[in-house]
Structure 1
């Protein structure tokens, strides 16, 4: 009995301590929000035409510092997620952000946008990647989020093509682990699945799993995983391959989780906007280099990077949209456009290429 009373007292003391900490957190969060509002007023007073208050490089530096200083027990990823939401909430008081992304609601792109901007940003879902670019270019959205690369399937070609003609710059990158699930409507019978629909990339990423478990069911590619989830929610006998966001959005049950053939599957997204970011010390730069179709063209492009000992993280070729049989190279490399070494490389590239377009320098995604 004495032990039970002692434990009960200890439990009360811990709960009282949590209540006190919660009150402190509330006060500190409101203090932070008041500081954010003060920054907004100051920026408006200094420059009424100042760009959006959101600075991706500033946020990246804050989150990197918080992760570095974190002593637990909360893991770094949880700390990052909590503070992204705090930042998102404070930004909504300064200037609510409108974010354009590929729809319908429930896509992985929307999930990436929420990961970057939090739940307090307004998501505007659109029917194509080109529409996302146009929405930001027109000023209808502050930023756009577009998929650029998947660790299984490589670069997203239509996103690269949009960059060749757009004036938008890359402001940040987001990496999202991709976990596919087989979903059915809540009153559906998993034993009566006759068709499985999803985006063609997702069907390809789960091909081996489907061959083993659903070899006779037909497979239908659709515009997005969210569209597949919507169809499954409305149709008997149809299952969708999509993620948790789509399952929640359309009220579906998970029959099987994590059905992707490669468990380390990730998709990389770019945040596009109209502003240039400042260096953070852990940046990446993306460029488009145009060359003539001649022997040694690629060697000439790569030589400046070797001379200056700059690491390339990605190079991809695409046919030129302006000249038959000529190619453009999309190149990602470590560094910021304001770095002296990066400036020297870009200057040397301009001497050997027919054109160099800087798509932007941005903080690398946190691991």
Structure 2
């Protein structure tokens, strides 16, 4: 076996040497790009450019490596090269071990400064104040729908959505001992408790359920108190030295959460984009139909529609709408201009590359 492996390993070593040389050549070019950006005050992170690179990797991939695995490798290469220009700071809903932290690394790669925040409000404040270059916040879950606090803050902020990240969400029930003996309360974020409700009703219907700021905070608390169980990711469990009682307890096997990347960056078209809006309609018959008619007239598809109370003491609502395409695309631009003229309230939250 050794005789057969030796020449193969020698070939691998030679290829590794070529890869190392190419990576450093790429890094030097990235440094030159950084110098040009510095002269023009251009942003270091361009999500539309990175999305184009990652799509190109998938399109050109002949195999046998999977496109997803190759995109992960290229994302880390771009992250490492970007950090030679500037190490980007990204605020997220903490503490360490949350799904939002996973979303940060999926979007930006690992060569970033990840800044955990105690609440979604704090993530917005960090990005608004410039403490962080970007923030990452949950915006929608496939089982439980919109994250309302994020929607409300998007209404009020001057920040722009410059990207989205979608990740699979697998919840595990964990305790300090890895067993449920002596456990009197199960803690998790309210969304996670809702996403695991049916499973909990069957297996632990009589144990108190307590909502906390995040699943990772629940894991941290369970790591300190043997009478407490947490619903969280296994990454959070490892962070706080918990044992898994039961993995994958979410009611929906295909449970996914979408996260928004927020900041001051306005992206240019990447070729596969989405635009998010907030609208309100005049209080008259047929107003909603008239408001949305321009989308159909210009052939613009609507991919999401959520409503939130306006909180004005009357039965009025704001509507959160996602449409396919960038605000600078011809048909989308025409449709948005008509929407704005018809709406009682109109705000573009951002145009950004769709999640890979």
- Residue 348 of structure 1 is matched in structure 2 by 338
Taking the TM superposition and a 5 Å limit, the aligned residue runs for 1:1-367 are 7-45=1-39, 47=40, 50-185=41-176, 187-321=177-311, 324-366=314-356
SS of match in other structure, 1:196: strand
- How far apart, CA to CA, are the structure 2 residues paired with 1:52 and 1:163? 22
- How far apart, CA to CA, are the structure 2 residues paired with 1:192 and 1:323? 47
- Mean Cα deviation higher: 295-304 or 148-157: 295-304
Shift in Å, 1:188 = 5.0
Shift in Å, 1:327 = 2.1
- How far apart, CA to CA, are the structure 1 residues paired with 2:38 and 2:300? 39
Seen in structure 2, the aligned counterparts of structure 1 residues 94 and 323 have a Cα distance that, compared at 3 Å, is farther
- How far apart, CA to CA, are the structure 2 residues paired with 1:256 and 1:71? 39
State the TM-score, normalized to the length of structure 1.
0.93
Is the 8 Å Cα contact of residues 79 and 108 (structure 2) preserved in structure 1? yes
1:187-229 CA-partner distances (Å, limit 9, x unpaired): 4544443322111111111112122222332222211101110
- Mean Cα deviation higher: 11-20 or 320-329: 320-329
Shift in Å, 1:323 = 7.4
- For structure 2, the residue ranges without an aligned partner over 5 or more in a row are none
SS of match in other structure, 1:299: helix
RMSD between aligned residues: 1.5
Shift in Å, 1:324 = 4.1
- How far apart, CA to CA, are the structure 1 residues paired with 2:211 and 2:228? 13
- How far apart, CA to CA, are the structure 2 residues paired with 1:57 and 1:364? 9
- Residue 3 of structure 1 is matched in structure 2 by none
Shift in Å, 1:19 = 1.6
- How far apart, CA to CA, are the structure 1 residues paired with 2:64 and 2:222? 40
Shift in Å, 1:86 = 1.1
Is the 8 Å Cα contact of residues 145 and 269 (structure 1) preserved in structure 2? yes
1:221-252 CA-partner distances (Å, limit 9, x unpaired): 21110111001111113221101221122122
- How far apart, CA to CA, are the structure 2 residues paired with 1:254 and 1:287? 41
SS of match in other structure, 2:110: coil
Seen in structure 2, the aligned counterparts of structure 1 residues 317 and 189 have a Cα distance that, compared at 3 Å, is closer
- How far apart, CA to CA, are the structure 2 residues paired with 1:305 and 1:147? 27
Is the 8 Å Cα contact of residues 318 and 329 (structure 1) preserved in structure 2? yes
SS of match in other structure, 2:300: coil
State the TM-score, normalized to the length of structure 2.
0.96
Number of equivalent positions: 356
- How far apart, CA to CA, are the structure 1 residues paired with 2:227 and 2:10? 52
